[in-house]
A and B are shown apart, each in its own frame.
Chain A
């Protein structure tokens, strides 16, 4: 059984201008969303307190707000979370109040108002810790990108590493754009998800590049666009199946993994979809435009041959 048995190579490279234009538009839209709305940074990065409480019956959100206002928490955000019985309360940082005790005060007040309330989770992050995590996150993103570039430059050629990293950054920026546009909460686990996407999406580019390299050696008479088209077409089936599989796993997490994994899975879902697109339609044209040629890969082999002959 085969779903994607494509006999003729699809001329992806002749659409390169169109696809690049589309990517550019989505990329700019993502950057605009980031610039205009900014990321809705979670408590991990901003510092502050998040509490998740659960009631045995439907939660009365306005009443909870009242209770909080009574104890002086005017700027607390109260919202339903997951089910109608679960409520999430966010308390911003206050420079003069020791926040560690805040959760106790709030919980006592809530218990006083309705004793069916149970505390499910409390997270308090100090402002300094939040800042550090944010900086480390940005650093991790940079290190991962540089590491991948270095490896690809070594294993393939510099043009591939540049193309791959542009394609990957494209994915990352688009995921961030989604999070900014819909104001989904950006937490530490989401960041982990994005870094995983970076590794994963590069996988994708590598598989195509690997074929391109192989084709350069095999298809001696073909032009560069033909070589790339053939590489993409030949790996098409694998691309679709692999991503379907990974997506199955990630969607399973999205739907059954619970609230805690929801945004993590969402970041991966978007990352996978754009990962396919970018590896095929962003990375490959860039490699082509950067002027990759057969000679880039044939030279080292000839050298080895010559050396071997030179030896007695």
Chain B
């Protein structure tokens, strides 16, 4: 009656072995490591880089314990933190500007475990320390920016086709083009419909004015928003890469949010500064038709111009129309100006940008252009040189009273790319490293104490069956941790609480079974029959009660965010493993012990 077929025992043994192997890596801890990754995402990581890193380390007599490369970079493991820091400095100076060397922690579990895919759980920020940001992308800003670009495009194409217009300006979420007569408006409309299919054009008559109002089509808006988010994520990735953070997480959340997690980062001010900067470069023409001093004195800024302050402190009138934006920049490096030797930023423009720039410089020889750095909606004129000759080849140099530090900062921002739309930090969580370690210790200890208390009581109260229950409970924890490790789940403090709670709840199944067996014995059944019907009858109850908890867990996962989700995952998995361990594993143990005896006088319960 109480016998399992062989395959069930094998299943149980296999499950326990699986649990053991995949739980194991969590106990080996981590060793200090250094991660070398290319500055830009495009550069490929290959064997060559690994060899280079290896050679540099050998030349400097730095002993390392392991070296490996994957898609993100080369990782080198060291015996202690001292060597790690030395290696970081040496590698950074040897490999040069194109690589980022970051401190990292790698699991020190043996190779044979890692090769089986047995890896430790990833620790959440609340357990290892670091910063978490949630950034909101300003989608309206993305549309506005796109319309600003169209503003310039429309001007160019109307001019090329020699269609007379009275003015073009962006009004909130639309571009308004004014004409003197209906005929030229019609011509313009035909032309624009050809050249800009994404625009929705509407004729508006207001008194003597013939206006054409252009808005973005819905599909185009959506595309722009999606693009803006992707562009922002790429930009963030580049910027964070320059910060030198090992294993950052940059993910899209919802339609307009980005999650950034930087494990181990302590200098949150610097991180926030780099993340939050929305620097873009704009080249505009200086308004030389109007007098600056008059404008400043009267406070009346001529139509179509804006007042800016140069770095030297002098006011400058700059036309609103943007001739070239930072989108066309392919590279930017800090350096020094050839003649004066003062700090400068060397910019390379891409093909289209170079063409535009060539055209611009040819048409405006003798005039001044202004190079503006726009950060968080505020512009600053970096320099406003006089165009002396046509500049081809897309090589531009910006200089003008910058410090070396400023030059390198500006080039970093330009190189890392501009944000397609402004972003704002809407959530921030920082956990200090000592707090993280404290959280681990406290969470872990509270689990251990609780488990020991339960085990002691169960063994005292149910004797042999208590031992069985405790073992089943231990198997439950083992399986749960193993599955979480296999899934490479992120362990957080609420996750640890989830483990503790599932342990507490898992005992319910065991208690139900044990109580049922006692009851059946009391009802006069033979011990063998009591064990059998105890397990059978308790099963229906276990199923019902666990499924209701599972419903709660699934809803938590579905609607929860961040820490609540982590808790929900553990809860759901814990219910499944506890059902297996309470029903199958404990039954297996009981069957092995009592099942063979044909006549069982007494059971220890």
Contacts and interface: CB of A to CB of B under 8 A. Distances in A.
Contact of B434 (A120, A204, A246): A120
Contacts of A179: none
B28 interface: no
Contact of A252 (B426, B427, B449, B537): B449
A129 B556 CA distance: 17
B467 interface: no
B444 to A, nearest CB: 10
A252 B453 contact: yes
Contacts of B508: 203, 242, 245-246
A199 B549 contact: yes
5 contacts: A136-B559, A151-B548, A202-B548, A241-B511, A252-B447
A206 B508 CA distance: 12
B518 interface: yes
B494 A264 contact: yes
Contact of A245 (B425, B454, B558, B561): B454
Q: Which of B426, B446, B548, B555 has the most CB of A within 10 A?
A: B548
Given A124-B425, A126-B424, A129-B426, 16 more contacts: A100-B425, A103-B268, A118-B434, A119-B432, A136-B561, A147-B551, A155-B544, A192-B568, A196-B501, A203-B508, A214-B537, A252-B446, A252-B449, A260-B126, A261-B443, A261-B493
Query: How many residues of B sit at the interface, in one of the four size bands?
Result: 35 or more
B562 interface: yes
Interface in A189-209: 189, 191-192, 195-196, 198-200, 202-204, 206-207
Interface string A157-170: 00000000000000
What 4 A-B pairs have minimum CB-CB distances, sorted nearest first? A199-B552, A249-B504, A126-B426, A252-B450
Interface in A121-138: 121-126, 128-129, 133, 136-137
Contact of B501 (A1, A126, A128, A250): A250
Contact of B549 (A1, A3, A203, A207): A203
A253 B435 contact: no
B382 interface: no
Contact of B454 (A133, A204, A248): A248
A148 interface: yes
A129 B507 contact: no
Given A120-B434, A139-B559, A203 B428 contact: no
Contact of A195 (B438, B463, B555, B561): B555
Contacts of B434: 118, 120
B457 A143 contact: no
B494 A206 contact: no
B549 A200 contact: yes
A121 B461 contact: no
Given A122-B428, A258-B443, A207 B541 contact: yes
Interface string A74-109: 000000000000000000000000101101100000
A51 to B, nearest CB: 9
Interface of B: 126, 134, 136, 268-269, 272, 276, 424-432, 434-435, 438-439, 442-443, 445-447, 449-451, 453-454, 457-458, 460-461, 463, 493-494, 497, 500-501, 503-505, 507-508, 511-512, 515, 518-519, 537, 540-541, 544-556, 558-564, 567-568, 571
A295 interface: no
B559 A203 contact: no
B269 to A, nearest CB: 5
A118 B432 contact: yes
Given A133-B561, A238-B515, A253-B497, A148 B551 contact: yes
A215 to B, nearest CB: 13
Given A143-B559, A248-B457, A253-B497, A148 B428 contact: no
Contacts of B457: 244-245, 248
B450 A248 contact: yes
A97 B21 CA distance: 52
A237 B518 CA distance: 11
Nearest to A164: B548
Contact of B560 (A192, A198, A244, A251): A192
Contacts of B134: 126, 129
Given A103-B428, A120-B434, A234 B519 contact: yes
Contact of A261 (B427, B497, B511, B545): B497
Contacts of B497: 189, 253, 257, 261, 264-265
A144 interface: yes
Given A246-B507, A257-B497, A261-B493, A199 B551 contact: yes
A301 interface: no
Contacts of A148: 548, 551-552
A140 interface: yes
A111 to B, nearest CB: 12
B541 A206 contact: yes
Interface in A260-309: 260-261, 264-265, 268
A13 interface: no
Interface in A178-236: 188-189, 191-192, 195-196, 198-200, 202-204, 206-207, 210, 214, 234-235
B515 A241 contact: yes
A188 B563 CA distance: 8
B438 A258 contact: yes
A249 B547 CA distance: 21
A257 B425 contact: no
Contacts of B425: 100, 124, 126
A152 interface: yes
B516 to A, nearest CB: 8
Nearest to B453: A248
Given A192-B556, A249-B500, A256 B547 contact: no
